[in-house]
Amino acid sequence: MLLRLEELRKKPFSLLLAYPRPEADLLEERIRLLSSLGITHVELHGRKELAPNLRVLGKGYVGVVLAARTADGRRVALKVRRTDADRRDLTHEARMLAMANSVGVGPRLLAHHADLLVMEFIDGPHLPDWLSSRPERQILASVLRELLEKCRRLDEIRLDHGELSRAHSHVIIQPRPGGRFEPRIVDFESASDKRRPSNVTSICQYLFISGLSGLLADILGPVDREALVGALRAYKREMSDHAFSAVLEACGLITYK
């Protein structure tokens, strides 16, 4: 269902732009801002519900993520700061996402303001849901290798995502032409360039040691956990290309592209 911007002044749709306490002045400000950015509609679409029949792409402690449309019909994602958020603006997240974009990671940042981000819309299942469809071994291994390589690129620029040890809602598998699938890392709300990066170690722990390890073992076969833990420790110390190759080897992904 598509809603014109003027419809967002009405309850319950006003929650989409000013959750959880919409106020008239703030709504008007955000509607004007969206219009100035070329946004014409908001779409009720997604896995989460703000209220009955108000579906959104995501809801966190800082913001609500919505599907939206531009004047030329392009679908984009909007992150709108919550009225009760514990931070004053989304400037930090915009900077973190721009850093990630510089190495080809994350949804493309299209525009930003203190109260909202306009991003590339990424369509596809979250990683655990995609895995439940039991993709072929070759396809799965290639996707996981690409995911680890993206995490490596974040480590190289010293940007820590911060949530990849609980990556169930932070990795979307996007279908691409030719039957290919691309892992997309999303939500840089908790990212930092001030702490030591641990993207590769966090995602490997989630995939092969804790969260999804059983499901992955069913498709790819078991991983030698002792060897993987050793490789991750060495990588954490060195952060070198050689140490990263050893991690890929321990995960059983070195021969896949």
**Rounded Cα distance, 116 and 79, in Å:** 5
Among candidate residues 68, 85, 120, the one where a domain is terminated: 120
Q: 139 - beta bridge partners?
A: none
**Rounded Cα distance, 128 and 166, in Å:** 11
Query: For residue range 173-197, what is the model confidence (pLDDT) as tens digits?
Result: 999 999 899 999 999 999 999 999 9
Output the pTM of the full model. 0.95
Same domain, 50 and 163: no
* Confidence grade of residue 211 (pLDDT, cut at 50, 70, 90): confident
**Is 256 inside any structural domain?**
no
Same domain, 96 and 131: no
Same domain, 116 and 137: no
In the chain, the number of structural domains is: 2
**Residue (of 106, 237, 223) closest to 159 by Cα position:** 106
Write out the residue range of the structural domain in which residue 228 sits. Answer: 127-251
Residue 255 confidence (pLDDT)? 79
Query: For residue range 28-76, what is the model confidence (pLDDT) as tens digits?
Result: 999 999 999 999 999 999 999 999 999 999 999 999 999 999 999 999 9
Among candidate residues 100, 120, 140, the one where a domain is terminated: 120
Residue 254 confidence (pLDDT)? 82
Same domain, 42 and 132: no
* Confidence grade of residue 200 (pLDDT, cut at 50, 70, 90): very high
Same domain, 109 and 222: no
Among candidate residues 59, 87, 120, the one where a domain is terminated: 120
Same domain, 68 and 139: no
**Is 37 inside any structural domain?**
yes
Is the pLDDT confidence value at 256 over 80?
no
3-state SS assignment for residue 198? coil
**Is 257 inside any structural domain?**
no
